[in-house]
Amino acid sequence: MKPKFDFEKRMERIRANMEKKGIDVLVGTRLSSVCYVSGTFIPYRAAVYVPLEGEVAVYPSVIEASRVKTETWIKDVYEWGPIKGITWMEQIANRVKENKLQDATIGIEMSLSPRLVEGLITHSEYQTLKECLPEAEIVDGSDVINEVAVIKEPEEIKLLRKAAQIADEGQKAALEVLDVGVTETAIVGAGEKRMRELGSMWNWPVTGGDEIYSGERGALSKCACTPPSNKKVRRGEVVCIDLHCTYELYYSDLAYNVVMGKPTPKQQKLIDTYNEIVHYMLDNIQPGMKIGEIANEVSKRLFQTEYLPHVPPVFGHGLGIVGHEWYPPISSFEPWASMEFKENMVEELFIQLNHPGVGGLRLEVPILITKKGAEKLTKTPVEPLIKV
């Protein structure tokens, strides 16, 4: 299934947002921005050049340029390397001057992110750009593409549905291997293998790939990042398998919790609290609702439990093209709390409900915001499985 995007309309939306923010040229360096504008996967350092008027350009590394030329809709593809004179910063500065925009307002991507693999501009890159364009006003333009890409196009929704189906199948394969005495790496590897067989092109590396935890590894306070280990699963433990799929540049992210035996009373209490919060979120998200409303209601429920000190204060994040795995988070903090859920947004509902010494349960499930509310894109149950 080769995606067919209307890049002309996509650029119109990006440029309209640039104009609204007073930006004459957008220089995108984040993985999500480069892929969203170019329409192809460019994992090495790259930049896209989007002027309000004129041709769009992309600057991939020398080792990717020939491939990118065959895969992108953009005509102007220029290779760059980390050598003075041919850096992407110098080449873009020259293009700005050729277009007589040297005193224009240039948006770059320099916001704060919790993600290591984000692609925000580095200090060295910024300094070079500033030295080459001393008359330009350089501002943060990170939200230009954020605000456009958060509303999914019909073709994007199709790909997100397909990625979700692949993640479901990956969970089935992992569950077939899951048993007492099996290592975390073997379990999650079975899921990864199945997803690859079905077309997943990239095990996206925010957490070093797919995640899994068992027992005490998943019960640590606020711990919600669990790359696989060679630990063996034991009877009585809570196991969480968290798979990350990429299909034709679009992500899915799906966690499933399994209790290895009859739950203890403390584990059952954790499960009951988890189920109540998860179904509250799924049942109550509506277009037009402020993100902070959901986050605050979840927090209120946690205040009534002993789990509150051990739960990260974020209950979801945006999901979409490669690199889009944050904006907007579901949080009670600004600026996100006052943002609204909108139709055709795709969010990843999340909670890490941990109780040290007992276990931890993780929700990761992609939802589409529709006129009627939240549509779960995956078929895997959100309720933990009791494996006796």
Average pLDDT, the chain: 96
Would residue 297 count as lying in a domain? yes
Is there a contact between 113 and 31 (Cβ–Cβ < 8 Å)? Answer: no
Rounded Cα–Cα distance for residues 141 and 19 (Å): 11
Domain boundary among 149, 170, 195: 149
Spatial CB neighbours of 363, under 8 Å, sequence gap ≥ 6? 255, 274, 278, 349, 350, 351, 352, 353, 382
Would residue 72 count as lying in a domain? yes
Specify the pLDDT at position 114.
Answer: 83
Among 14, 12, 48, 8, CA closest to 143: 14
Q: Are residues 101 and 220 in the same domain?
A: no
2 burial class (0-12, 13-18, 19+ CB within 10 angstroms)?
Answer: exposed
Is there a contact between 345 and 356 (Cβ–Cβ < 8 Å)? Answer: no
Q: Are residues 126 and 12 in the same domain?
A: yes
Specify the pLDDT at position 1.
Answer: 39
Question: What digits encode the pLDDT tens for the residues 13-38?
Answer: 999 999 999 999 999 999 999 999 99
3-state helix, strand, coil in the chain (%, to 5): 35, 20, 45
Specify the pLDDT at position 216.
Answer: 95
Whether the predicted pLDDT of 211 surpasses 50: yes
Q: Are residues 15 and 87 in the same domain?
A: yes
Question: What is the DSSP code string of 215-232?
Answer: GGGGSSTT-------SPB
Question: What digits encode the pLDDT tens for the residues 299-318?
Answer: 999 999 999 999 999 999 99
Look at 87 and 3; give whichever has higher pLDDT: 87
Would residue 2 count as lying in a domain? no
Q: Are residues 42 and 78 in the same domain?
A: yes
Cα-based distances in Å from 257 to 118, 142, 261, 382, 386: 28, 35, 12, 8, 9
- Percent over 90 (pLDDT), the chain: 94
Whether the predicted pLDDT of 3 surpasses 60: no
Q: Are residues 72 and 177 in the same domain?
A: no
Q: Are residues 93 and 14 in the same domain?
A: yes
Is there a contact between 272 and 380 (Cβ–Cβ < 8 Å)? Answer: no
Structure tokens at 312: 């990260």
Structure tokens at 272: 């009951």
Would residue 45 count as lying in a domain? yes
Is there a contact between 312 and 358 (Cβ–Cβ < 8 Å)? Answer: no
**DSSP strand pairing (238-247 vs 250-259):** antiparallel
Would residue 379 count as lying in a domain? yes
Q: Are residues 13 and 53 in the same domain?
A: yes
The whole-number average pLDDT for the span 196-213 is 87
Cα-based distances in Å from 57 to 63, 69, 88, 122, 139: 17, 11, 11, 20, 20
Question: What is the DSSP code string of 4-17?
Answer: ---HHHHHHHHHHH
The whole-number average pLDDT for the span 146-154 is 98
Rounded Cα–Cα distance for residues 170 and 15 (Å): 39
Would residue 1 count as lying in a domain? no
Whether the predicted pLDDT of 171 surpasses 70: yes
Total number of domains constituting the chain: 2
Question: What digits encode the pLDDT tens for the residues 223-280?
Answer: 999 999 999 999 999 999 999 999 999 999 999 999 999 999 999 999 999 999 999 9
Dihedral over Cα of 131, 137, 140, 146: its sign: negative
Question: What digits encode the pLDDT tens for the residues 80-139?
Answer: 999 999 999 999 999 999 999 999 999 999 998 888 788 999 999 999 999 999 999 999
Rounded Cα–Cα distance for residues 255 and 278 (Å): 13
Strand ranges for 105-206 from DSSP E: 105-108, 137-140
Specify the pLDDT at position 245.
Answer: 95
Q: Are residues 136 and 234 in the same domain?
A: no
Rounded Cα–Cα distance for residues 226 and 233 (Å): 14
Q: Are residues 92 and 141 in the same domain?
A: yes
The whole-number average pLDDT for the span 360-367 is 99
Would residue 33 count as lying in a domain? yes
CATH of the domain at 335: 3.90.230.10
Would residue 192 count as lying in a domain? yes
Q: Are residues 158 and 144 in the same domain?
A: no
Structure tokens at 168: 């479901």
Is there a contact between 70 and 38 (Cβ–Cβ < 8 Å)? Answer: no
Residue count of the chain, please give it: 388
Domain boundary among 100, 129, 149: 149
Q: Are residues 197 and 323 in the same domain?
A: yes
CATH of the domain at 72: 3.40.350.10
Whether the predicted pLDDT of 205 surpasses 90: no
Question: What is the DSSP code string of 370-382?
Answer: ETTEEEE---S-S
Domain carrying residue 316: 154-386
Q: Are residues 219 and 299 in the same domain?
A: yes
Domain boundary among 149, 167, 194: 149
